[in-house]
């Protein structure tokens, strides 16, 4: 089971990958139950990555407090890797 610090690192990596703050992932996407499931090892990194990806594509709606407006993700900080043609 991951520690709290490991879970924070996972959220930081996913936030960087998808161009959104890990704090926003934690406060707008993940419920308390989701966070507990993450700590108990019941949510894989791959599964969480998929959920974050879909959530960002849908405009980062706030699933934890419905009265807040969706947050627009900032522009991507890193361009995807493109392999150079070796021909």
Q: How many domains does the chain have?
A: 1
Which domain, by its residues, includes 83?
1-87
Burial tier of 71 (Cβ tally within 10 Å: 0-12, 13-18, 19+): middle
Evaluate if pTM is beyond 0.75: no
Residue 19 region by backbone torsions, left for phi larger than 0, else alpha for psi between -120 and 50, else beta: left
pLDDT, tens digit, for every residue of 6-57?
999 999 999 999 999 999 999 889 988 999 999 999 999 999 999 999 999 9
Q: Are 34 and 43 in contact (CB under 8 A)?
A: yes
pLDDT of residue 62: 83
């Amino acid at each position: 089971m991951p520690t709290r610090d490991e879970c924070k690192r996972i959220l930081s990596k996913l936030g960087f990958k998808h161009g959104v703050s890990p704090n926003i992932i934690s406060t707008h996407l993940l419920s308390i139950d989701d966070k507990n499931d993450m700590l108990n090892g019941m949510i894989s990194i791959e599964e969480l990555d998929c959920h974050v990806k879909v959530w960002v594509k849908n405009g980062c709606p706030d699933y934890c407090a419905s009265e807040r407006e969706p947050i627009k993700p900032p522009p991507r900080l890193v361009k995807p890797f493109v392999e150079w043609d070796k021909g």
